[in-house]
Structure 1
Amino acid sequence: MTENHRIEYNWVKGVETLENYQRGGYHPVMIGDVLNGRYHIVDKLGFGGYSTVWLALDTNLKRYVAVKVNIADSLPRETKILKALSSSPVRLGYDLVPVILDEFKVQGPNGKHTCYTVTPAQCNLREISFSRLFSLKVARTLSYGLTQAVAYTHSQGYVHGDIHLGNILVKLPSSFDDLFIKQLYEKYGKPETVPVTRCDGEPLSSNVPAKAVVPLFLGKYAEEFSLSDAHPLLSDFGEAFSPASEVRLGQDCHTPPAFRAPEAKFESQAPLSYPSDIWSLATAIWEIIGMKPIFSTDFVHEDEIVSQHIDVLGPMPLEWWRRWEGRSQFFDEEGCPTESYRENRWFPLQESFEVGVQEWRRKMGDEFDNNEKAAFLDLMRRMLSFRPEERPTAEEVLKSEWMVKGHCLITSGAKVGAAYKHALGCLRLT
């Protein structure tokens, strides 16, 4: 389809860009379709720029799966990485990344689409934590589990490349598979669909589904989470890469600006590596723990994010400062904020913690004590070091005071020592 003849559709809130249902784009999937002769489509779980994700009943094994249907003719990059990550089931964190259950292709009006299935998850942490707080016990558990997942990914030679709450899922309870489709709809509601119409009023072609499906929410909100719910799953490895075999330059980093390590901008011609994930991991942990992200998640220019880095963390390396073309919008040559920027400055790290974390937790009666606060801020300072070589590894993050003590606090009685020794023993194997 030529670009100047692109068909436009009436906008539907909460669904993928319908204009991408064209040659080379999404595959039109409908509720009730059966893919690969066995996967009965029950509802939609989500979508991204390169795929849609569906809840399906595997009619062979009588269990639910998530089916990821990629855009047409896409390279099987993510499946290759997930298969590689499935190779070490004895290592700590193996069960915190998706395991591919099946892989197949479907031919449709928009081309040939690679698909794979994994165990379905509830929802992502962005959905369930927006304007809500996890209890401190749950937040510690999620942070520890996420760090385990990153440490495992790194131990297998891969950088995730896109760590943020939208890519961190929560596992479903095993009892979910006991639901018949009718019971699923009774519990969570039937699929929410909206008819698709063209802006020019012409009839639909086979390239696009007759109805758009609004993603199903299977989860519960943050304040309702218990420790038994706190099983994170690091997902979406579409931006992952192996530094040993693939050069990913800073200029090619697609992590959203609020979570992107600063070397991607200031060392744009240098290869990224594991430390870039550590920066993103720190921003994710901060959001799990608190109410306000450490840097703005609003749509702002990347120079504004850089100014926030300086506000929160202090001066950046001098060579970066000199190369930063946008600094005059925010600071004078001595590094003092300009008059126009002074009112919009972000708080330094400790004050950011008070405003974005502690104040909200105090209202819940679930705040950090002074010792835990000091340990947490020490970890954040190190993970958010401007220079990537100064950041700790994921294994070192797991061994930090805040992580170790937090993990022990949620482990009772005689299990404390055994769990801690087991964790350290597994870490030594990586």
Structure 2
Amino acid sequence: MSSSHNADSKMATSGVNQPKPPRYYPIPPGDLTGNAKKGMHLEEIELYVLGGYHPVHIGDVLDGKYEVAHKLGSGGFATVWLCLDTVLHRWKAVKILAAEHSSESCPEIKFKEILGDSKFVAIPERHFWIDGPNGRHLALVLPVLGPSISKTRDLVPDIAGIRKICYQLAESLHYLHSKNICHADFRPSNILHRMHSIDSLTKEQLWELLGSPTSMEHRERITTIKRDDPRPNAPLYVVRSADMRRLHDWIITDEISIIDFGIAFEATKQPEKKTSIPIPFAAPELLFGGLQSTSTDIWSLACSIFRLHS
């Protein structure tokens, strides 16, 4: 009897019989699979678990003053939200990192002093921490930018405009390398158009332009497999990313800023993280186990320029 009890205790403490965290799916099931998922620009809802994303709802107030008005985007390491600074009445982008990727040594904080207020890069203006059900999350406050240059053909259809963008790509990468920084993920989706100020626009005016994130057209409800409330780990719904191209030419400019320094590193040191750059922009040596470097950045620059002209 005692032996059986001890065996049960060992199994319990080892975690063998511990319940797995729930997986989250939208209603109806299957809406986030295949091409539909890519077209809707929704984050990976399975990442709303311990160590993953922080759950956010439209109308939430972050750090006591940033009111969430829309979603700007998401990636494997973070979600990005369009927020109104209710104290200064200015629009900001707030990037909330997944808990397991949040640390004081974040490259975007580390390189802030080195890069200063350069027009070529989007560097956090400040940062704060969020304690949530999935852990402790680093939040970066950034300027609001337009769509990526992967959409440039829609915004700058003439060859002269494309060439201006390409010149800025080379100029911006040269600036980073002159500061001894290797970006390591240099590609069109990480290079955004800068915008004129939108601080004069109200939330309602922005919703009219971008679409309301509270409408069923722009969000999908979440439930668990057992059809339970997904909170606290996941939000009640996920929001489609705003299409910033809808802000038109009178707000979007033909100048650019580089974003996402999550795997950037000092060029004279070994990279701490493995590259995640897609194959179309990866230098050949990376495909054979080589390390990122300023040379691989330059290869990515060439691929990006080719993509813009093709």
Q: TM-score range by the shorter chain?
A: 0.7 to 0.9
Name the aligned partner's letter for residue 180 of structure 1.
T
Instruction: Check 1:79–1:248 CA distance in 2 against 1; reply closer, same or farther (3 A cut).
Output: closer
Larger radius of gyration: 1
Q: List aligned pairs for 1:76-91, cutoff 5 A.
A: 76=104, 77-87=106-116, 89=117
Give the stretch that moved more between structures: 190-199 or 162-171: 190-199
SS in 2 for 1:177: coil
SS in 1 for 2:199: helix
Instruction: Check 1:274–1:33 CA distance in 2 against 1; reply closer, same or farther (3 A cut).
Output: same
The residue that corresponds to 1:286 in the other structure is 306
Pairing 1:263–2:292 present: no
- Contact 1:134-1:289 within 8 A present in 2 as well: no
Name the aligned partner's letter for residue 279 of structure 2.
P
- Contact 1:134-1:225 within 8 A present in 2 as well: no
Q: List aligned pairs for 1:184-199, cutoff 5 A.
A: 184-191=206-213, 192-199=218-225
Pairing 1:219–2:239 present: no
The residue that corresponds to 1:110 in the other structure is 134
Aligned equivalents of 1:59, 1:236: Cα separation in 2: 26
Aligned-pair CA distance for 1:247: 4.3
Aligned-pair CA distance for 1:233: 1.0
Q: List aligned pairs for 1:3-402, cutoff 5 A.
A: 4-10=20-26, 11-12=31-32, 13=37, 14-73=41-100, 74-76=102-104, 77-87=106-116, 89=117, 94-129=118-153, 134-174=157-197, 176-191=198-213, 192-219=218-245, 229-247=253-271, 252-266=274-288, 268=289, 271-290=291-310
Q: Which runs of 5+ in 2 are unaligned?
A: 1-14
- Contact 2:149-2:192 within 8 A present in 1 as well: yes
- Contact 1:85-1:153 within 8 A present in 2 as well: no
- Contact 1:66-1:119 within 8 A present in 2 as well: yes
Name the aligned partner's letter for residue 285 of structure 1.
I
Aligned equivalents of 2:110, 2:159: Cα separation in 1: 33
SS in 2 for 1:245: coil
Aligned equivalents of 1:118, 1:32: Cα separation in 2: 19
Q: Normalised by the size of structure 1, how large is the TM-score?
A: 0.60
SS in 2 for 1:122: coil
Name the aligned partner's letter for residue 53 of structure 2.
Y
Between structures 1 and 2, the one with greater strand share: 2
- Contact 2:229-2:236 within 8 A present in 1 as well: no
- Contact 2:109-2:124 within 8 A present in 1 as well: no
Between structures 1 and 2, the one with greater helix share: 1
SS in 1 for 2:49: coil
Aligned equivalents of 1:79, 1:248: Cα separation in 2: 14
Aligned equivalents of 1:225, 1:278: Cα separation in 2: 30
- Contact 2:128-2:140 within 8 A present in 1 as well: yes
Aligned-pair CA distance for 1:5: 4.4
Instruction: For residues 304-347 of structure 1, give each alpha carbon's deviation from its aligned partner in whole angstroms, at most 9, with x where no partner exists.
Output: xxxxxxxxxxxxxxxxxxxxxxxxxxxxxxxxxxxxxxxxxxxx
SS in 1 for 2:54: coil
Instruction: Check 1:143–1:220 CA distance in 2 against 1; reply closer, same or farther (3 A cut).
Output: farther
- Contact 1:30-1:209 within 8 A present in 2 as well: yes
Aligned-pair CA distance for 1:86: 2.9
Aligned equivalents of 1:61, 1:18: Cα separation in 2: 33
Aligned-pair CA distance for 1:155: 0.9
Give the stretch that moved more between structures: 212-221 or 48-57: 212-221
Name the aligned partner's letter for residue 33 of structure 1.
D
Aligned equivalents of 2:71, 2:24: Cα separation in 1: 22
Name the aligned partner's letter for residue 22 of structure 1.
V
Higher relative contact order (CA 8 A, sep 6+): 2
Name the aligned partner's letter for residue 206 of structure 2.
L
- Contact 1:100-1:116 within 8 A present in 2 as well: yes
- Contact 1:31-1:42 within 8 A present in 2 as well: yes
- Contact 1:105-1:114 within 8 A present in 2 as well: yes
Aligned-pair CA distance for 1:271: 4.3
Aligned equivalents of 1:148, 1:3: Cα separation in 2: 53
Aligned equivalents of 1:57, 1:97: Cα separation in 2: 22
Q: List aligned pairs for 1:388-427, cutoff 5 A.
A: none
Aligned equivalents of 1:69, 1:82: Cα separation in 2: 18
SS in 2 for 1:107: strand
- Contact 2:22-2:224 within 8 A present in 1 as well: no
The residue that corresponds to 2:3 in the other structure is none
Identity among equivalent pairs (%): 32
Aligned equivalents of 2:230, 2:272: Cα separation in 1: 41
Q: Which runs of 5+ in 1 are unaligned?
A: 291-430
